Amino acid sequence: MRKTKARVALSILALTPLFFVYPVHAAEPAESKMQLIKTFTGSLSPKSVAASQSGLVSAHNMMYQHSVTIFDSRSLELITTVKDSVSLSSLGISGFSGTYRGAPVEGAYSPDSQYLYFTNYSMYGKGFTKEGHDVCSPSSGFDTSYLSRINLADYTIDAVYPVGSVPKVVSVSPDNKYILVSNWCSYTVSVISVEKQKLIKTIKIGRYPRGISISSDSKYAYVAEMGGNNIHRIDLADFSKTLIPIGSNPRAIQLSPDDKTLYATLNISGKVVSWNLEKNKIVKSVKTGLAARSLALNGDGTTLFVVNFNSGTMTKLRAADLSIIQSIKVCREPIGVTYDNETDRTWVACYEGSIKVFQN
């Protein structure tokens, strides 16, 4: 779902903390209740948030702000705002001149925390003539786009990679060998080699590929086909596929730390489901709200967090049995969620212009 540009025509110039910041402390038991400790507002229209697990959290602000905002996850202070503008020609992309703007959707950090990759919903500038749309197919003819890379040493965009039309989720394999991008309108996944620094494979998925999760041993990638009923398991050795019939409209997915359980949100039904990968069957499902969207898992795999877009809520779940620990109102249209292991904090992206931080 996309906002109209009129809804975001007004922007506030400063990112303003509204709540007292609690000190960082050791993680509390998984059954503890979340408490709001800070709200960021200002020049934000976050589609997603991502924790580096090394001291950073980033928010990706679409074409409404053309930026990525990066925060210190410990002090809860804004570090910098990176504009999405690039010179494609200076980054090795021939056939372009001048400066081009992107539209950050989702982000993922490299395992060594040197880089942050983000997808661009569309590109804007000379030569790009047909902006992407949420209702589409490969025959729609929307422009293809690019994945951008931020060097976290100096917070500059130092590389871009061609991908498909309307790229959404990006994920980096734990061995830092591959970067995977789901292309919403192309119905594909792009596979980029980190070593070769180029696209090496395009894999057909089906209608509206979105969520991606990669096993801890980097052997398998799981991709949600949001326009269907399946998760596609891709063998990263030969790029062959098998299907997991998880249920209608899967959006976000997470793997347990032992790679035995796959968790997914089913957007239309508002459910979270757990799938046993060894027995190849659903273990449990629970309804968390209206339009279950993004999903986060804490580091030890005991707790799940899901934001329910049309309910305006976030639900905290016990991963073992999907029992609900807490469900709270967070904002209108919560769209993204991430969990920072070191501080035991959950960050929520509110589409209309704020980020909420909760202590667990």
Which tens digit of pLDDT belongs to each residue from 51-68? Answer: 999 999 999 999 999 999
pTM: 0.92
Q: What is the pLDDT of residue 18?
A: 42
Residue 20's pLDDT band, with cuts at 50, 70 and 90, is very low
Q: What is the pLDDT of residue 29?
A: 45
How is residue 129 written in tokens?
């003539």
Mean pLDDT in residue range 110-126:
98
Q: What is the pLDDT of residue 22?
A: 41
pLDDT higher than threshold 70 for residue 46: yes
Mean pLDDT in residue range 134-144:
97
Residue 30's pLDDT band, with cuts at 50, 70 and 90, is low
* pLDDT tens, residue by residue, 72-103: 999 999 999 999 999 999 999 999 999 999 99
Q: What is the pLDDT of residue 31?
A: 73
Percent of the chain with pLDDT over 70: 92
Q: What is the pLDDT of residue 14?
A: 40
Ordered by start, the domain boundaries in the chain are: 5-359
Average pLDDT of the chain to the nearest whole number:
93
pLDDT higher than threshold 50 for residue 143: yes
For 5-359, CATH number? 2.130.10.10
Percent of the chain with pLDDT over 90: 91
Residue 142's pLDDT band, with cuts at 50, 70 and 90, is very high
Q: What is the pLDDT of residue 32?
A: 82
